[in-house]
Amino acid sequence: MKQSINFSAFCDSFRAHDRYDSFGYHGLRVIFDYLESYEQDTGEEIELDVIAICCDYNMMAIEDIVKEYRIDVSDVDADDLEWFVLEYLNDNTMVLGQCVDGVVFQCF
């Protein structure tokens, strides 16, 4: 038996598992929209598993991604830094989207 949920219930599930702060409101919106789109595109229903989502996806600021993945940006202009990091992520994983708090991407 499957149950459809809205964005509010999605966020409540993360709060119930003490995982809301892993993504915050804006990051969870990106993930929720991605998962809804995936369901519509594939016709496959997804079971909500908060812990699995936290293991599968990450959200970080551009500067933190550079540090965490040791991306050499020494020759990158400051104006091009965001583009450069997004290209790096797109080459190595799937980017779900960006929000005011950072970039949401699949862990790799």
Domain layout of the chain by residue ranges: 7-106
Question: For the purposes of burial, counting CB atoms within 10 Å of the CB of 2, is it exposed (0-12), middle (13-18) or buried (19 or more)?
Answer: exposed
pLDDT digits 0-9 by tens, 45-90: 999 999 999 999 999 999 999 999 999 999 999 999 999 999 999 9
Closest CA to 61 of 28, 23, 92, 20: 23
**Entry pTM:** 0.91
- How far is Cα 48 from Cα 1, in angstroms, rounded to an integer? 12
Structure tokens at 73: 């940006």
Over residues 10-24, the mean pLDDT reads 97
Q: Is the pLDDT of residue 1 over 80?
A: no
Q: Is the pLDDT of residue 2 over 80?
A: no
Portion of the chain with pLDDT greater than 70, in percent: 99
Can you tell me which residue has the tokens 């995936």? 38
Over residues 25-45, the mean pLDDT reads 96
